[in-house]
Structure formats: structure tokens, C-alpha cells
Structure 1
Amino acid sequence: MAGPPLEELLTRLAGGPELAPAELVRISPTQWSELDRRATHYRLQPLLHRRWGESASVPELQRQTWASAYRASAISALAHKAELVAIAELLARAGIEAIALKGSWLAWHAWPDPALRPLRDLDLLVPEDAVLHARDLLLGHGYGEFGTEGLAPELWKQRYHQLAPLVSPGGVVVELHHRLWIEDWRTPQLPVDVFGRVIPDPQYPALNYLDPVDQLCHLAVHAAVHGFDGGPLMLADFERLALAHSIDWAAVWDRAAAEGWDRVAGLAIEATRRWTSKGAAILPPSPLPVPPEIIENLPLLLAKPPERIAADQTAARLARTDIGWGEKWRRALARRERHDTLSPWLGWLGGELRNAIAARLGGDTGRGAALVAQLNRYLSAQKP
């Protein structure tokens, strides 16, 4: 008898509904190797160490790998926290407000151990009229800049919701945001006055975080816009957020409806209720209906092979039926404006073509792309 698909196995290993002993013993060595490969990409190894490090049902090789990843994550967490505090204090001395986003709050204030919630980078929200000054300040203190695509910082600010990444002298990557998310057909309006609702860090006064409801909104929009391809940690973050705060859910739904993010909130909450161990007990059901087939098949997005992420997104864009091919081509041409020269745009266009071919040829990729397309149709209905 075949066991659950790998995507479901990884989602459940990372904190979803408990796997029965009979399900664990059916996982082959080849499957364990693939699960570990995906866990590496989705930053799950430290969490798997905490949950399964003493389990004889998991091969010794995997347990040793996860233990090593946990130790490395603990060291990395110390470096990230030191850099985060240093940046906040540097900006504060210059009179620049900054809010630490997502994992920068979650790792130290929602998770029981910051090593369980590894960070790829530090995300900070800075007022739009101060973000270029903040960039210059960091560059003047030894930071480097990469991935600019040949664009001047003023054009980055105009075209994106964040500036090109920076890297500290110690190797920590930092992204300065001037908007919480990209504004397109999938996203609700940006919340107003988030700087007026910040929560200061109790230990470091210069360090601020989003208000709990703003955090919920930001995490929900981020997960949905990225097609839940950030991995099972996305849902674990919702679970941890709900455990860390006492939330007035009636007020949440009133505000979400008024600001147009009730659909993404409902999607995130129903996904967390279904695919985390405590979600159903701590989160009330969404008052808005969410397509059950999206929720039930969400592991196909949460834990897909990393190399299929781009192919699924491309295939979903091509599969949209609410806009014609003329508009799709116009949007592809419009992306040319993001690049100062022709070569990077041609590289992007070639990548889209390769992704479309991969989606057409891959059966599992096709299923994932169809689910992303369904998710995008659901999100597009939230726009006024």
C-alpha cells in the first residue's frame, strides 16, 4: 500500500497532522533522501531535528544531518540578531524609523527557539521618503549591494516594493522595503499608518515590530502572493503568531473586510487549521468560504521540489483565463522596463519559455501549476 505523497509527508513531518508509525516505516531510504533535500531548501532541518531527532523511525544519517543544521542555525541566529539590533540603532540615530518584518520578529518572539526558524535575510520596512537615505547610510558603514540588474536605486524604488539586497560586512543579507508588498492584481490595498501602530522590542528600544494584526495581514498576503512556495514554515509562522498574541478575531475580520485582505486571511487561517498540529484548536474558522480543494492539496505547493517553483508560477500565468493572450504578451513586454539593457529581459523571457516547457512535460508540475492558477483566481476575486 502506497503511503502519502512526499509533499504531504514533509508538511506533516514539519508540524502538520502527526504521522502514524506505520506511515513512517513505509518511507524508503530514497524518499528520506529526497525529503531531506527539500527540507534543506525550505529551512526545515532544525525543526525536524527538534521534532524527530530522537526518533528511531528516522534514519540515523538524516538525524545527524538535522542536528548539524540545528547547530549551524543557532549560530546564524546570533549573528542575525546582532546585525538586526545594530541596523535599528544606526537608523534610529539618523532619525529613520524602521520596522523589522516577518522572521525578524517571529524567530525571537513567537518561536520557542530562534534556531528553529532560520532566516535567509533581514527584512526592514522604512518610510518611502527615507529608504534611499537608509541605503546610503548602510553602504557608508561597510555594506555591499548586489543583484541590482543594472538599475539605479531610484528606479528600484520606483519599480519594486524593496531596494536591491545589501550584505553586511559579516555576510548577513538585508532588504530595505518601502512598501509591505508588491501592488498588483493579487494583492489588497496597503494598510495605512503601520508606523503609528508599531510594537517596540522590550529589550532594544530602537527595534520595532508590526502590530499583531498588521503582522497577520502581512504574513497572509506574502504567503498567498508567493503561492505558498515558501514551505511549511509559512503555516508554522501563522500558528506561532496566534499562540504568541491574544487576537480579537471579530475586529480582525472587520478590518480585513474593510481593507480587502479578508480572502488572504481566510486562506491562511484555513490552511493553518488543516496543516498544523494546533491550528484547528487555536484559530477560529474563516467566515469566508475557501475552496476546500485548495486547502486539501496545499502540500503540493508548500513542499514541492524546489526546481518546480518557477515552472508552476509561469504555467499559472499562462493558464489565466481572465485575461487574453494579447494582454499576457503586453505584460511580458512591459517587464522590459525593469531592465536598463535588453540582455536581462531576454534572459527572463528565455527562463519563462523553459518553465512553460517544463510545466507542459511534467505531470506533477502540471498539478502544481493548476493549483497555483486556482489560487490566483481565488485571489483575483478580492480586488474591488
Structure 2
Amino acid sequence: MALQVDRPLRNGTKPIESWLLKAMSVSREATELKDHLARTAVSTNAASARAPASISVSITPSAKLLLRLCAAPESDHAADFAALDEDHWYDLVEQAIPKRVAALLDRALQRADSFALMPEECRDAMVDERRRLTMSAFGHMIALTDAVSFLKSHDIPTIALKGVRLAYQDYPDARLRPLRDLDLLVPADKAEQAQRLMIACGRYELAPWAEYYGLDFGHQLPELLDTKHGISIEIHHRLNARDWAGEPKLVQMVFEQAETLEISGNRVRVPSMHANFLHLVEHATLHHMFENGPITLADLHFAAQSGAIDWPLLIAQAKEMGLERALQLGFVDKGYPEFD
């Protein structure tokens, strides 16, 4: 049986992104989110969309396990691994690799002493992915620090968004949180200058897949490609597409509360814990409606477990930005009375 990480699931089950809704127990909260979006007029489409009264999704054992180990990566999943048959092992690996959670799966397998249970082809694929992720992490680190240093040399304040803080601060090991694109937030009045300077230096070029648009189109400029490392870089001047009323407050928080990490001897500014957490919640709900994969569960888990969150303050900040329902989706059953 050949392992294929780029094909749909064999049994036709919906992609795992859609399962996040059920996994996070939001059959009721989905309707509440729809109502909230309509009230705040996040977008015309979101306001007019009808959320289902209930959600019923068939989930395979492998998909359920992948969601569980992302939501509870510190738990022992040995019994779940032992219950998988060969087809489910193939499904598990085929889902984990493209969804950027193979490292979390690898860690869970090692901790449960279950790596040997996999079919040989699955084991080989996981070993290859482990090697690839190590090389990719190194390339992303160099691309990140070089881009930040370049913009700093031109007096352009830069903040590395979302995944950088997660990888280098919140996760126990940066290799557990693979980066994809590098999202760099700069002041709106510096964004086009930053893009021009990077292209002019010769190392960066417009990505072949990039479309052509300016500041008014969305929250970022067309993607750049670091030709030295083959990594996509996005210059952001905002955090979300237009029409979210709370966005200016979050942008202000990101800039005003930015913290500095030292990465490979370089100082890189990242959002504060609260700003990054709220951005993650907004990105998963208002921005992508849970279509950004199971890695979101692990992101929220490790951020929440860091101990750096003042929950009453975070909830108050979420309410101020119109994110209270979005935040509630992830924590409605987690024992926080403020959400009752």
C-alpha cells in the first residue's frame, strides 16, 4: 500500500479542518459565532451566512486521534495508537505531514513507545519528515533573522507574527512548531517601502504565485520569496482582511506590547502573549472559520499552558475587540466561569 500525503482521505471523509468544529464542541457555539459576526458586521458574507443548527460529522479513528494529540499533546496516547489498524496508520501519517503536525505525532509516538507499531512505510515517511523538518527549521530561522535585520537596517520596525513566538517561546521545542510563511508586521506607512527595499536588494523577489495588489486590497502585500532559502515572506500592514471593527485595537496592542526574543544571536520582536493569543483566536475564527488545520489546537494548548496569561484580563481584552465569542469557542468547556 503506497503512502500518499497529498491525496484526499480514502473514505471520503471531510478534511480535518472541518472536524475542528466538532472537536471543539461548537455545535451550539457555531450559531452564537454566526450571530456575533452578524452583529459586528465582520463581513457581508459572514453576516449573511447561515450556521447549521447542529453539526454531525463522521470522524475516523485516525482523525480523532490526530485532533486529540494536538489538543492534548502532553497526554499518553498509547491506547489509541494500539487500536489503529493498517489503514488508519496510513491515514494518520497522510494527514499529519501536510497539516504540519507530524512532529507532534512523532513526539506522541516516542512518548508512548508506539513508533514500532506503524507499518514500515509509515515509519520511513515519519523519519524522512523528521529530517526534513530539521532542515526546514534551520532555513526558516536564518531567513527570519536575515529579513528582520535587513528591515532594521532601514529603520523599519518589524514584528514577527504568530508562529515565531509560538515556536521559539511557547512550544517546548521549536521543531515541534514548523513555520511555513514568515509573516512580518510593519507600520502601514512603511509597508510599501519595505517591500520595495527587499526586492531592490536582489535577495527577495515577488513569489511566482503572488498576485498584484496594494495596501487597500487586504492585510498584507503580495508574497515575497527569499531566493536564498526558498521561503515565502509576507509583509503585513494589518492583521486581518477589512471590516473587523476590533482590528485597530489589536494592531495597536501588537506594536505597543511587543517583546524581544533572541534567536540565533539576533533580536526579533514578537507580539506579547496576550496579543498573540488574541491574534490566534481571531485568525482561527473570524479570519479562517476553523479552516486552518489541527495545529491551531496545539498552538492554543501550548500558549495557554505557558502560565503567562492573565485570564480575566485576556477575556476583558477579547470583549473590547469583539472577540469574546471567538475566544469562548476554544474554552467553553475548560472551566472558566467568565464564559458561562
Question: Shorter-chain TM-score: what band?
Answer: 0.7 to 0.9
Q: What is residue 68 of structure 2 aligned with on the other side?
A: 12
Displacement of 1:15? 4.9
Q: What is residue 34 of structure 1 aligned with on the other side?
A: 91
Letter in 1 for 2:313: A
Q: Does 1:221 align with 2:282?
A: yes
Between the aligned partners of 1:126 and 1:60, the Cα distance in structure 2 is: 47
Q: Does 1:207 align with 2:295?
A: no
Letter in 2 for 1:177: H
Q: For residues 218 and 87 of structure 1, do their structure 2 counterparts lie closer, same or farther at Cα, with a shift above 3 Å needed?
A: same
Letter in 2 for 1:117: R
State the TM-score, normalized to the length of structure 1: 0.65
Letter in 2 for 1:156: G
Contact in 2 for aligned 1:92/1:206 (Cα 8 Å): no
SS of 1:34's equivalent in the other structure is helix
Q: What is residue 351 of structure 1 aligned with on the other side?
A: none
Q: How many residues matched?
A: 271
Q: What is residue 197 of structure 1 aligned with on the other side?
A: 257
Displacement of 1:197? 1.3
Q: For residues 260 and 15 of structure 1, do their structure 2 counterparts lie closer, same or farther at Cα, with a shift above 3 Å needed?
A: closer
Return 5+ residue gaps in structure 1 as ranges. Answer: 274-279, 290-384
Q: Deviations over 1:219-272 (max 9, x none)?
A: 0001113122222211111111122342211111122212211111121334xx
Contact in 1 for aligned 2:62/2:84 (Cα 8 Å): no
Q: What is residue 158 of structure 2 aligned with on the other side?
A: 98
Displacement of 1:92? 0.9
Letter in 2 for 1:163: L
Displacement of 1:11? 1.0
Q: What is residue 186 of structure 2 aligned with on the other side?
A: 126
Question: Within 5 A, what are the aligned runs for 1:271-290?
Answer: 280=334, 284-285=335-336, 287-289=338-340
Higher relative contact order (CA 8 A, sep 6+): 2
Q: Deviations over 1:312-360 (max 9, x none)?
A: xxxxxxxxxxxxxxxxxxxxxxxxxxxxxxxxxxxxxxxxxxxxxxxxx
State which drifts further: 52-61 or 252-261.
Answer: 52-61
Q: For residues 6 and 184 of structure 1, do their structure 2 counterparts lie closer, same or farther at Cα, with a shift above 3 Å needed?
A: farther
Letter in 2 for 1:168: D
4+ long deviations beyond 6 Å? none
Between the aligned partners of 1:128 and 1:176, the Cα distance in structure 2 is: 10
Q: What is the aligned-residue RMSD (CA, Å)?
A: 2.4
Q: For residues 13 and 257 of structure 1, do their structure 2 counterparts lie closer, same or farther at Cα, with a shift above 3 Å needed?
A: closer
Contact in 2 for aligned 1:52/1:58 (Cα 8 Å): no
Q: Does 1:74 align with 2:134?
A: yes
Q: For residues 205 and 9 of structure 1, do their structure 2 counterparts lie closer, same or farther at Cα, with a shift above 3 Å needed?
A: closer
Contact in 2 for aligned 1:45/1:69 (Cα 8 Å): yes
Question: Within 5 A, what are the aligned runs for 1:85-234?
Answer: 85-141=145-201, 142-146=203-207, 147-149=209-211, 151=212, 155-169=213-227, 170-184=229-243, 188-190=246-248, 191-193=250-252, 194-202=254-262, 206-224=267-285, 225-234=287-296
Between the aligned partners of 1:182 and 1:29, the Cα distance in structure 2 is: 42
Q: What is residue 31 of structure 2 aligned with on the other side?
A: none
Q: What is residue 47 of structure 1 aligned with on the other side?
A: 104
SS of 2:220's equivalent in the other structure is coil
Letter in 2 for 1:121: D
Q: Deviations over 1:47-75 (max 9, x none)?
A: 21111144143334323322221221111
Q: Deviations over 1:270-295 (max 9, x none)?
A: 4xx6xxxxxx5xxx526235xxxxxx
Q: What is residue 375 of structure 1 aligned with on the other side?
A: none
SS of 1:266's equivalent in the other structure is helix
Contact in 1 for aligned 2:137/2:175 (Cα 8 Å): yes
Q: Does 1:61 align with 2:121?
A: yes
Between the aligned partners of 2:326 and 2:102, the Cα distance in structure 1 is: 28
SS of 2:215's equivalent in the other structure is helix
Letter in 2 for 1:233: I
Contact in 2 for aligned 1:144/1:166 (Cα 8 Å): yes
Displacement of 1:192? 4.7
Displacement of 1:13? 3.9
Which one has the bigger helix percentage?
1
Q: Deviations over 1:18-74 (max 9, x none)?
A: 5462x4344221222122211122011122111114414333432332222122111
Q: What is residue 354 of structure 1 aligned with on the other side?
A: none
Between the aligned partners of 1:38 and 1:3, the Cα distance in structure 2 is: 13
SS of 2:136's equivalent in the other structure is helix
Displacement of 1:148? 3.2
Between the aligned partners of 2:220 and 2:85, the Cα distance in structure 1 is: 43
SS of 1:156's equivalent in the other structure is coil
Between the aligned partners of 1:60 and 1:227, the Cα distance in structure 2 is: 36
SS of 1:159's equivalent in the other structure is coil
Between the aligned partners of 1:212 and 1:189, the Cα distance in structure 2 is: 17
Between the aligned partners of 1:134 and 1:3, the Cα distance in structure 2 is: 45
Between the aligned partners of 1:157 and 1:60, the Cα distance in structure 2 is: 50
